Amino acid sequence: MENFSKIVVTGGAGFIGSHLVDKLSNEELSIVVIDNLSAGFMENLKKHIGKPYFSFIKSDLKQLDDMWMEGFNNADVVYHLAANPEVKVSVINPKIHFNENVVTTFNVLEACRKNDIKYLVFASSSTVYGDAQKIPTPEDYYPLEPISVYGACKLACENLILAYSKLYGIRALILRYANIIGPRSGHGVIIDFINKLRNNPRELEILGDGTQRKSYLHIDDAIAATIHLFKKFVNDSKKYDIYNVGNDDWVTVKEIADIVIEEMGLGKVSYVFKLGTKDGRGWPGDVKFMLLDISKLKNTGWRPQWDSKEAVRKTVKQILAKNH
């Protein structure tokens, strides 16, 4: 990336973060990863450890301390991906999400302010829209009414970032990701199905009624879109911008189950649906139908390589291949 010499990736040992580090390592940059390893793994970064361009700081962003803040010294860009990614957890223990998302984002913004960081890229989520009445849902959809603490925390982070951008001149790019899937992901419906079918190849418990329909994007597409949008943002005059990052289509939970069973080479599997709510969601706070309008993203000249079903199938193949 032209004129940039140092990039910080918070949560860089996690799923999206480690794939971003892989891609950024092709540029002539020094990369600092800050991660407390609560959801990430050093295994994800093994090919970078010991390389001259790479440094790792094990630290908790919930605490404002000099150890990780020094990592921000002379950085040009901060990719803020550190968060607890489990939406379900926010129903059972809301405080985890407040701390892991809102508190950490406030601390990261303080570090950006004190170190005069010019650019911040934030991993937000489609959950900020809640049960949107308009599908596909565009970035300017209103009102934003998240139905989970996770979604509410992501929206709170967006607003904090907006305020810091206006007050302190930090140029901020917000990316509202759809369901991002691929190797290294430690949670989500695909991992859940594979694990359950390994334990019992004749029966599969599905959370919800199976008609939940959402958009899925492969991690390779997500990272390509992220870097593409940031390069465009740098050349724009905007101080703050928001993009949906997802796919043009969607897929049901039952269709995902069908793909997993097919790729695992299993015979007849009976489905057992476990409703988390009266209207067939997997759990309270689960958005049942999610499809982002990505026309703004596509207008920049970028397109996903794989549609939702292709992304699911590719991910299943990759996970199964790794585990053999």
Residue 65's pLDDT is 87
Q: What's CA 96's distance to the chain center, in Å?
A: 17
The three-point CA angle 149-111-37 to 5° equals 60
Domain limits, CATH 3.40.50.720, in the chain: 6-180+217-245
Model confidence pLDDT, tens digit, residues 65-101: 888 999 999 999 999 999 887 777 667 789 988 999 9
Q: How confident is the model at residue 324 (pLDDT cuts 50, 70, 90)?
A: low
> Helices (DSSP H) in the chain: which residue ranges?
15-24, 66-69, 89-92, 94-97, 104-114, 149-168, 189-199, 219-235, 253-263, 295-298, 308-323
| Catalytic residue of the set 79, 119, 150, 216 | 150
Give the phi and the psi of residue 170 in degrees, each rounded to 5.
-75, 125
Is-catalytic flag, 150? Answer: yes
For the residues of 3-30, what is the DSSP string, one character each? T--EEEEETTTSHHHHHHHHHHTTSS-E
Domain limits, CATH 3.90.25.10, in the chain: 184-215+250-290+307-323
The fold of 6-180+217-245 is Rossmann fold (3.40.50)
Model confidence pLDDT, tens digit, residues 222-277: 999 999 999 999 999 999 999 999 999 999 999 999 999 999 999 999 999 999 99
| 2 has pLDDT over 80 | no
Residue 190's pLDDT is 97
The residue-averaged pLDDT of 2-15 equals 93
Six token digits for residue 301? 């000249």
| 62 has pLDDT over 90 | yes
The pTM assigned to this predicted structure is 0.96
Residue 187's pLDDT is 86
Whether the Cβ atoms of residue 51 and residue 39 lie closer than 8 Å to each other? no
- Which CATH number is correct for 184-215+250-290+307-323, 3.40.50.460, 3.90.25.10, 2.60.40.1510, 3.40.50.1220? 3.90.25.10
Whether the Cβ atoms of residue 140 and residue 193 lie closer than 8 Å to each other? no
**Residue closest to 31 by CA, chosen among 14, 46, 51:** 51
Alpha-carbon distance of 307 to 26, in angstroms, equals 26
Give the phi and the psi of residue 161 in degrees, each rounded to 5.
-65, -40
The residue-averaged pLDDT of 190-196 equals 97
